[in-house]
Amino acid sequence: MALARIELPHDARRGELVEVRIVIQHPMETGFRRAPQGERVPRNAIHSLVCRYRGAEVFRATLSTGIAANPFLRFFLRATQSGDLDFWWLDDDEVQGAAQTHLVVSP
């Protein structure tokens, strides 16, 4: 149920800086909380996230439990050619998530 929303400008010019925004649905459990019956809720946070643009890594983030649930990340990349942006992330439960979008670049 990896759910994410990626927001890009509709199109970009070559060489332009493009704002990339992503929100990922994830509880980002700290491991410090207790469930109503008193049992510890195990830590489960996304710890690595990678973004590839046309196959090449352009952004990497190391996250931890200090980040709120449903993390929101924003970064900029320089548009070169039209191509796919591939996000991939991994949490403490070894569950992988992925999301993809397409960036349209006009010359």
Partner 1 sequence: MKKYLVLAALIACTAQAQNHSGLEFASEEIRRLQASDAENPGMLWVDQGAKLFAQKCASCHVSMKGVATRYPAVEDGRIVTLEAKVRHKEAFAYESDELLALTAYIANQSRGMPIKVSPPAEKLDAGRKAYYQRRGQMNLACAHCHEQNWGKRLGAETLSQGQPNGYPAYRLEWQKMGSIERRIRACMFGLHAELPAYGSDAMLELELFLAARASGLPIETPAVRR
Which residue bears the tokens 């199109």? 11
Q: Measure Cα distances from 11 to 7, 26, 36, 81 in Å.
A: 12, 29, 48, 11
Give min distance, CB of 70 to partner 1, in A: 4
* Other Cβ atoms within 10 Å of 58 Cβ, number: 15
Q: Which stretch binds partner 1 (CB under 8 A): 37-45, 55-63, 67-75, 79-87?
A: 67-75
Query: How far is Cα 16 from Cα 78, in angstroms, rounded to an integer?
Result: 6
**C-alpha angle 47-8-106 in degrees, rounded to nearest 5:** 130
Give min distance, CB of 4 to partner 1, in A: 8
The interface mask with partner 1, positions 11-50, x = CB under 8 A, is ----------x-x-x-xx----------------------
Instruction: Indicate whether 7 belongs to the interface with partner 1 (CB under 8 A).
Output: yes
Give min distance, CB of 49 to partner 1, in A: 16
